[in-house]
Amino acid sequence: MLRLVCFGDSITARKEGCSKPMLTTKLSSELENFDIINAGVSGDNTCDALTRIEKDVIKFNPDLVTVLFGANDAAIHKMFDIYTYKTNLYKITHLVKPQKIIFITPSPVDENSQFARTNDTLSKYALVVKQVANDTGSQYIDLFNEMISLENYPKILKGLRDDGLHFGEEGYNFLSGLITKKINEMFLR
């Protein structure tokens, strides 16, 4: 059995009414040959990620790691400059190894409900994720553009908190579908 660690912030960690994180629940039903470990921590940014990567990711010797950070790095009240974000993503790549990583760009927000983050800023952080993935030979999923191109994307962002940032079940179905598709593509090559 292969091991997948989902490393991220609250988008990775949220339970949304389930007994365990919803992303893990969805992926477990789609990726039967994987042992899936959720290493999401609400409120984390890439600096926080580096402080816990050894105990939350590397110690599990994963075959694959999804890396989804950026919403907190880009938040107005916490904003890390984009250079720090980029540098931290390179450090994560170095520690985990590029062939094991699937970077995921931060998702868009519903700007009618979310005031600490803007899609303009998040789109710039998404570009950095793609650049780091391309520079290192890592895989990536462009969640930002995949989601924002949907006519009803604000509906996908409606979770229990309805804050314009945290997904509901529809959003997790969308995200887990993209992850499953990417993993299947990687293993069918």
| CATH code (residue 52) | 3.40.50.1110
* pTM (2 d.p.): 0.94
pLDDT at 189: 60
HSE toward the beta carbon, residue 185, CA cutoff 13 A: 10
Residue 43: per-residue pLDDT: 93
Indicate the number of domains in the chain: 1
* Long-range CB contacts for residues 152-161, cutoff 8 Å, separation at least 24: 153/108, 153/110, 154/110, 154/112, 154/113, 157/107, 157/108, 157/109, 157/110, 157/113, 158/110, 159/14, 159/16, 160/16, 160/17
Place of tokens 């959003």: 171
Instruction: Determine the structural domain holding residue 63 and report its residue range.
Output: 2-188
Q: 52 — phi, psi (to 5°)?
A: -120, 5
- Which portions of the chain are predicted below pLDDT 70? 79, 160, 189
